[in-house]
Structure 1
Amino acid sequence: MCGVVGVVRFDGAPVDPEALAAMTQTLRHRGPDDLRTWTDGSVGLGHTRLSIIDVAGSAQPLWSADRSQVIVFNGEAFNYREVRAAYDYPFRTQGDTEVVLAAHLREGERGIARLRGQFAFGVWDTRARELHLYRDRLGVLPLYYVHTPAFFAFASELKALLPLLGSVRVDQQGLAAYLAQRAVPAPLTLVEGVRKVLPGHHLTVTANGRLTASRYWSVPVPEPRPMTDAEAVALTRAALDASIGESLVADVPVGSLLSGGVDSSLIATLASRAAGGGLRTYAAGFGQPDDETSHAEFVAGLIGSDHTTVVVRPKEFSDLIPKLTWHRDAPLSEPADVAVHRLAATARHDVKVLLSGEGSDELFAGYPKYRLATAFDLALRLPAGLRTPLAGTARRWLPERAHRAGVLTRALEADGRADGYAAWFSPFSRTERGALTGADAPSMPPSPPLPDVPPLEQMLYLDQHSWLSDNLLERGDRMCLAASVELRPPFLDHRVVELAAQLPARVKLRGRTGKWVVKQVASEVLPDRIVHRPKSGFKVPLDRWFRGDFGAEAHDRLTAPGSFAREMFDAAAVARLLGEHRSGRRNHDIRLWTLLGLEIWHDVVATPSVSRS
């Protein structure tokens, strides 16, 4: 994994080499092994390298053999040897970067569509005087840009672009989306003027400033085809074996995250088999008796991995948030962000690459909410004037322990199906957002259109379309690269994603069993106590922490004169959340976490001179 930056000026002014070097240096954590820049008048490129493939070669920026094009590449093309064999090209290195450049040079988008892997990169064409940007199909890797009348600039992380903006202003639509979804959907960000390249897209920028975008791949609309259960299981096993085999392509050691849940346990088990043993695995806990670390240790014993358990303490958790917020370029939307980083930082002593089980829930219906898809769709057909007050009344009478029912009532206040499906991840209902932000609440960005498929498939499609790339994958990339570790999610090989769209709904959700087909595959290699135990995820005791010292810190930050919360939100509404939670009357942990995250993010963005690395 690496960091890439680039600037193309339209006003005739030269790119400042020192400014470009500073932008590149901002991404040094993404590539501690090498840093290089190149400028030619009004164009400049920068690259920081985390050497994974062809460690001794493939320095970047890398030129094509005919010196017509130059690339800065972030990511891995796992099938680069296969693609390399398809081209008559005078290769000079043994790495994947030159193969990617050759694919673009020979075939453009069609060549990039040959690649399997995760990537985000820029190519400057010296003859056509055009910049080309590509982002991988699922958005595993990030790519941001700024487009003004004077220049176009891109970078792997938003922070590298901030010096070009002059002043930093909060994007109001991005803020509205974050309050609704705990993530900002591409192409928006929380910073006005900065945008994300959409997953599966190719941008072209000409020397006179014209920008065009095209899509070379999109999340497939579900089209189930007839097959038996046995066929579905066999196809899924074959797709995962192929993906995991390619995910192990590296010239450095590869390890695996192992939470003890079915997804990470399956990935670690299949990876250990494919690698012939010797795998290192890593698990995190929070010192709670009901965390997953014992299950992870059990699986590690089964597969014979060299296993490490990391315990995250409350003080460490609190201390890391500002640093990790800087790395994420956004609020930490999930408390598990901290745990992912601690795992990566520990693993960095042994490996440069980690596998994860990310994506399985969104492909194969792993979340409990999917069981309610049909009933929820029917409820959303009620008139909003009736549905919203009923949901609000029900939420006020719910006991504190009824967390999932509270999530449902918030989702029922949404506008339409797309917003309702997205609102399952919402910390605040539409009514609560109105109370928090007042009459001048920013408008929400439009929801993506939903395909004409059953409710379960619509919900899965929407989660793959945005929640996955804009929250979970962003977290994985940023938290691991903060420790200079590359994260690879084998479930998100596009062949697995396309297969999932063809599987019948019954092999995803069967009765109350989600991820049925994944669990059948897992049953071939793992015992029932791992395959069929209830889903739990990272159990961060936020509700208790917010009633202790962590809550006192949140109170001080959110209520201080001049705070972002005081500027943007109704002070009485914030005070009510803090008071009700502290007294134990209500559990507002995820809402307080969201507001605290925004506050810390604003502090970090507003003071870029403060070192966060």
Structure 2
Amino acid sequence: MCGIAVVHDLTGPAPSPERLARTRGIGEAMLAEIHHRGPDGSGTRQVGATWLGHTRLAIVDLDGGEQPLRSADGERWVVANGEIYNHVALRTRLGGDFRTGSDSEVVLRVVERLGTDGIHDMRGMYAWAVADRSGDVVLARDPLGVKPLYWARVEDRVLAASELRAFPADVRPQVEEFPPGHYWTAGDGLVAFVDLRTDPLGVEAPPLPAYPTRDQARTAIEETLVTAVQERTMADVPVGVFLSGGLDSSIVAAILARLAAPGVPVHSFAAGTAGSGDLAAARVVAEHLGLVHHERVYTDDDVVEVLPEVVRSIESYEPSLVRSAVPNYLVAELAARHVKVVLTGEGADELFAGYHHFREMDVAELQDALADGIDTLHHLNLQRCDRVTMAHGLEARVPFLSRDLLAVAGRIPMEWKLLGEDGQEQAQEKALLREAFAGWLPESILWRRKEQFGDGSGTADVMSRQAERLVPEADWRDERIEGLPPARTREELGYQRIFAGVLAGVRAEQVLGRFATA
């Protein structure tokens, strides 16, 4: 996990010394703004018409993985943020000598041997740039947008970086999100390399049939998620788990505990207000699994103190996102003292219909809602997850969003994702997922009703109590902040004020996508 900054000159493969100096100045200023993403080191390189910058959180190949990383012949260089989980298999397939054990070197070899056609073969979470001395550059982002990437075209240059804050204030109004599942070159423009709705594995094969029985579906869910968790333990540093006490994070924790080598402790981390349901449930899970458990119990004052930095970190002002980000931010701060990598339960609700508002939907409506939920995760939960962890130099991995598990979820008849097989009101959400992991967790946890993270941690109550402190004016509805939609609540206006103060010039659609005016 790292941060990247890229400045590509579109005027030709050999820009003038004056343009190179200007490019370098822009890039170095951008990289300085995202140093928190990689506290273990940084590096820069001018490669042809492209300046590459990288700030590193060392996780794989601690000694040999410094970036920018060059190809064996020195013609190409890469900066990458994220992980390529199948890099060992790709090494075997591509052959030849590798200079390092870094998964980022595999990105170089894929581009060198397979070109952009090979990008869909990479399994992982990533945003990267490969530049060569001839003047070409390739930008790419993973299909789900687990790793962030933004870009803008300014004065015959293309700028790209991991976070909005990296861009100069006068450039921010022109910044756009680089779309997930796409690559870009100056010659080809923006090209999609995978369609998650129709072909999540990227193999262009006929879709597999729906599972004929619930037993087969349960087995596939269990086996595929176990594999996804195992892949995401790839690291040369300790791996822990965020544990809210809800179903999804508890399943991930249970799998991680079973995969751990004998005698190797698994650290879990939870946060909430005193007496919150999440803390109590997390303790039950941790004790059952024999985890080394850590808690952050926080107060109203703690929430108010970190709010400005939380809004700055997540680069959003959407109230539900801010509410859930506060406990995430505080638990990430705690976890970073003990580990460099954590697994989380993000994505399970979008795959298995876990949200309360799905209760009123029929099969067709639910199918559309789940597909839309996957498409927009990068604007919401994944954006929060990335930013609050990287604010503390911590890498978060999301096993539920394995492309293989997406393919499994796509083969489950939609009727089985309703609230029980018959869709009755009293039925439990995500029943099939719960059934798949029967015996892995205490029954009280396996069948615990879902709470929104901000509610279960106690944060929602704290935030509502603090709304008047954020915006004491009685006539708050009259205030408008340029570039942002009218605030729907006093609380939201408070967050908008913080947001505008630290990210001047950023427009609503840059942080909330199509939800900006909802």
Aligned to 2:277, what secondary structure does the other structure show?
A: coil
2:447 pairs with 1:532: yes
1:69 is aligned, of 62, 76, 85, to 76
Q: Do structure 1's residue 603 and structure 2's residue 501 form an aligned pair?
A: yes
1:205 shift after superposition? 2.3
**Structure 2 counterpart of 1:473:** 382
**1:220 aligned to 2:208?**
no
Q: CA deviation at 1:235?
A: 0.5
Q: Give the C-alpha shift of residue 543 in structure 1.
A: 6.6
Give the letter aligned to residue 554 of structure 1.
V
Q: Is the 8 A contact 2:31 2:166 kept in 1?
A: yes
**2:191 alignment partner, SS class:** strand
3-state secondary structure, aligned to 2:296:
strand
Using the TM superposition, name which of 536-545 and 263-272 deviates more.
Answer: 536-545
Written as runs of structure 1 = structure 2, the 5 A alignment for 1:37-436 is 37-40=44-47, 42-127=49-134, 129-163=135-169, 165=171, 191-206=172-187, 212-221=189-198, 225-276=210-261, 278-287=265-274, 289-331=275-317, 333-374=321-362
Partner of 1:25: 32
Q: 1:290 to 1:94 in 2, by over 3 A?
A: closer
**Structure 2 unaligned regions, length at least 5:** 200-206, 507-518
Q: In the TM superposition, what whole-angstrom CA distance separates every residue of 1:165-217 from its partner, at most 9, and x where no partner exists?
A: 2xxxxxxxxxxxxxxxxxxxxxxxxx5211111111111125xxxx6111111
Question: Contact 2:326–2:459 at 8 Å: present in 1 too?
Answer: no
Q: CA deviation at 1:559?
A: 4.4
2:410 alignment partner in structure 1:
501
The answer to whether the 8 Å contact 2:169/2:505 transfers is no
Whichever residue aligns with residue 350 of structure 1, its letter is H
Whole-angstrom distance in 2 between the partners of 1:35 and 1:146:
23
Check conservation: 1:58, 1:94, Cα contact below 8 A. Answer: yes
The structural deviation recorded for 1:149 is: 4.5
Deviation at 1:324, TM superposition (A): 2.2
Tell me which residue corresponds to 1:555.
472
Unpaired stretches in structure 1, ≥5 consecutive residues? 166-190, 375-452, 578-590, 609-613
Cα distance change of structure 1 residues 27 and 542 upon mapping to structure 2, 3 Å threshold: closer
1:5 has 2:5 as partner: yes
User: How many Å apart are 1:478 and its aligned residue?
Assistant: 0.3
Q: Is the Cα–Cα contact under 8 Å of residues 7 and 15 in structure 1 kept in the other structure?
A: no
How far residue 113 of structure 1 moved from its aligned partner, in angstroms, is 1.9
Write out per-residue CA displacement over residues 300-356 of structure 1, whole angstroms, 9 at most, x where no aligned residue: 001100001112221121121212222222225331101111111101111000000
Secondary structure of the 1:85 match is helix
Q: Of residues 436, 442, 452 in structure 2, which corresponds to 1:521?
A: 436
**CA–CA distance in structure 2, aligned partners of residues 100 and 153 of structure 1:** 20
* 1:432 equivalent in structure 2: none
Asked if structure 1 preserves the Cα contact closer than 8 Å seen for 2:173 and 2:505, the reply is no
Give the letter for the 1:88 counterpart.
G
Match for 1:108: what amino acid? G
Q: CA deviation at 1:21?
A: 2.0
Distance in structure 2 (CA, Å) of the matches to 1:248 and 1:38: 31
SS in 2 for 1:555: coil
| Of 314-323 and 37-46, the range deviating more from structure 2 | 37-46
Deviation at 1:473, TM superposition (A): 0.2
CA distance, structure 1, for counterparts of residue 74 and residue 499 of structure 2: 42
Displacement of 1:557 after TM fit? 11
In structure 2, which of residues 474, 477, 491 is the aligned counterpart of residue 593 of structure 1? 491
Greater shift, 67-76 or 224-233, is seen at 224-233
The TM-score normalised by the length of structure 2 is 0.87
Change (3 A) 1:557 1:321: farther
* 1:459 aligned partner: 369
Deviations, residues 542-596 of structure 1 (Å, cap 9, x unaligned):
67546655423322598499x75499777xxx7xx8xxxxxxxxxxxxx333222
Identical positions, percent: 31
What is the alpha-carbon distance in structure 1 between the residues aligned to residue 474 and residue 39 of structure 2? 34
SS in structure 2 of the partner of residue 242 of structure 1: helix
The answer to whether the 8 Å contact 2:169/2:504 transfers is: no
Q: In structure 1, give the amino acid aligned to 2:299.
A: R
Q: How far, CA to CA, are the matches of 1:558 and 1:279 in structure 2? A: 51
* Per-residue Cα deviation, 1:467-510 (whole angstroms, up to 9, x for no partner): x1111000000000001000001000110011111111233222
Which digits, 9 at most, give the CA deviation of each residue in 1:13-61, with x for residues without a partner?
Answer: 2243344222112111110001111125742110000000000112111
Local SS of the residue matching 2:384: helix
CA distance in 2 between counterparts of 1:31 and 1:64 reads 22
Letter in 2 for 1:27: I
Between the two proteins, the alignment pairs up a number of residues equal to 479
**TM-aligned CA distance change 1:239 to 1:59, over 3 Å:** same
Distance in structure 1 (CA, Å) of the matches to 2:485 and 2:435 = 48
The 8 Å contact of residues 9 and 15 in structure 1, kept in 2 or not, is answered as: no
* CA RMSD across the alignment: 2.5
CA distance in 1, matches of 2:71, 2:117: 18
Identify if the C-alpha distance between structure 1 residues 548 and 275 changes in structure 2 by more than 3 Å, giving closer, same or farther. closer
- Say which SS state the counterpart of residue 335 (structure 1) adopts: helix
Change over 3 Å in CA distance of 1:547–1:237 after alignment to 2: closer
CA contact (8 A) 1:15 1:44 kept: no
TM-fit CA distance, 1:114: 1.9
> How far apart are residue 537 of structure 1 and its match?
2.9
Conservation of the 8 A alpha-carbon contact between 2:150 and 2:177: yes
Distance (Å, rounded) in 2 between the aligned partners of 1:264 and 1:228 = 26
CA distance in 1, matches of 2:157, 2:105: 27
CA distance in 2, matches of 1:226, 1:39: 52
Residues 368/66 of structure 1: CA separation in 2 closer, same or farther (3 Å cut): same
Pick closer, same or farther for the CA change 1:546–1:531 going to 2, 3 Å. closer
What amino acid maps onto 2:137 in structure 1? L
Please report how far the alpha carbon of residue 255 of structure 1 lies from its aligned counterpart in structure 2 after TM superposition.
0.2
Q: TM-score, normalised by structure 1?
A: 0.74
Give the drift of 1:117: 1.2
Q: Counterpart amino acid of 2:405?
A: V
Paired with 1:541 and 1:2, the residues of 2 have a C-alpha distance of 31
Asked if the contact 1:15–1:39 (Cα under 8 Å) also holds between the matched residues in 2, the reply is no
* Alpha-carbon separation, structure 2, partners of 1:240 and 1:557: 50
Structure 1 residues 549 and 265 mapped into 2: Cα distance closer, same or farther (>3 Å)?
A: closer
Separation in structure 1 between the aligned mates of residue 475 and residue 7 of structure 2, nearest angstrom = 37
What is the DSSP-based 3-state SS (H/G/I as helix, E as strand, rest coil) of the residue aligned with 1:137? coil
Structure exhibiting the larger radius of gyration computed from Cα positions: 1
Measure the CA separation in 1 of the matches of 2:483 and 2:198: 42
Q: Is contact 1:564-1:599 (8 Å) kept? A: no
* AA partner of residue 248 (structure 2): D
Q: Distance in 2 between matches of 1:547 and 1:302?
A: 34
Q: Which amino acid aligns with 1:272?
A: A
Distance 1:9 1:135 in 2: 20
Cα distance in 2 for partners of 1:599, 1:473 equals 23
For residues 303 and 546 of structure 1, do their structure 2 counterparts lie closer, same or farther at Cα, with a shift above 3 Å needed?
Answer: closer
Structure 1 residue 104, shift from structure 2 partner: 1.6
